[in-house]
Structure 1
Amino acid sequence: MSDLLHRLRGRGWRMTAQRRVVAEVLSGDHVHLTADEVLARATLRLPEISRATVYNTLGELVALGEVAEVATDGRAKRYDPNAHHPHQHLVCSDCGAIRDVRPDGDPLADLPPSERYGFTVAAAEVTFRGRCPDCTGT
């Protein structure tokens, strides 16, 4: 059973066939699918699943804090099931591929008090950008 499915069962989330398929599609490492990609993969497993059901389920998962929305450079939102493990993202500036990364250090510690302008900083999101091996041909 995937980490996401395990967490949802632990919360007592009502697991319909449609919800299960969406959760299964989101399982795995480095998963950052758009809603349309989730729909396409879910339809292969459960042909009768509707677009509305997929979008509603994704919205519920985000509201529960079990899936994070990731937006990069005005591209379509992507859904990241790795919401319970601190990480940052490495994004290909050509094709938009996204990988989870866990750099050393604390990005909050890198922001000096003089640059916080009185804010109580609770979180930092760092996005690393570059070109993936597919786009560089290596």
Structure 2
Amino acid sequence: MSDLLERLRGRGWRMTAQRRVVAEVLDGEHVHLTADEVLTRAAVRLPEISRATVYNTLGELVSLGEVSEVATDGRAKRYDPNAHRPHHHLVCSRCDAIRDVHPGGDLLADLPATERFGFTVHEAEVTYRGLCPDCTRT
């Protein structure tokens, strides 16, 4: 489970009702919602929340480094609250379901010097693609 709410409280982030609801919707494991999905779920809890408030809050959470934006194949950005634990993503090619994965090894160390082309590499992102169990059955 993500600890987004605890991290935000620890930072002294001003927790309005709207911000709290957005953070609650995002908090959890394997959460990768679009802004519209966040809005839909937040509106169930707080019907008066506006689209602008959701988008502004997501932007602020990304700027704070508390939530990461995840883009897959030019589709809508998704928001990942698991921003403080390095991980990769497993994406279903059919339904776009996303799961966090934590494989072993050091991707930076695995990149040979001959393949770095003079770059000083400080980060690696990996996206695994395939079919989720639900899509495999259909």
TM-score category (smaller protein): over 0.9
User: Structure 1, residues 11-40: CA drift from partner, whole Å, max 9, x if none?
Assistant: 111000000000000011100000000000
Q: For residue 21 of structure 1, what is the amino acid of its counterpart?
A: V
**CA-atom RMSD, angstroms?**
1.0
SS at match of 2:96: coil
- Any runs of at least 4 consecutive aligned residues in structure 1 with deviations exceeding 4 A, and if so which? none
Q: TM-score, normalised by structure 2?
A: 0.97
Query: CA offset at residue 109 of structure 1?
Result: 1.4
SS at match of 1:69: strand
Q: Aligned residue for 1:75?
A: 75
- Give the Cα separation in 2 of the matches to 1:117 and 1:14: 45
Gaps of at least 5 residues in structure 2 are none
- Give the Cα separation in 2 of the matches to 1:15 and 1:120: 39
- Give the Cα separation in 1 of the matches to 2:67 and 2:31: 11
- Give the Cα separation in 2 of the matches to 1:37 and 1:106: 34
Confirm or deny that 1:6 pairs with 2:20: no
Query: CA offset at residue 118 of structure 1?
Result: 1.1
Mapping 1:95-106, distance limit 5 Å = 95-106=95-106
- Give the Cα separation in 2 of the matches to 1:99 and 1:6: 22
Mapping 1:14-29, distance limit 5 Å = 14-29=14-29
- Give the Cα separation in 2 of the matches to 1:133 and 1:45: 30
Confirm or deny that 1:59 pairs with 2:59: yes
Percent of aligned positions that are identical? 83
Query: CA offset at residue 117 of structure 1?
Result: 1.2
Q: TM-score, normalised by structure 1?
A: 0.97
Query: CA offset at residue 74 of structure 1?
Result: 0.8
- Give the Cα separation in 1 of the matches to 2:19 and 2:95: 29
Q: Aligned residue for 1:86?
A: 86
- Give the Cα separation in 1 of the matches to 2:107 and 2:90: 15
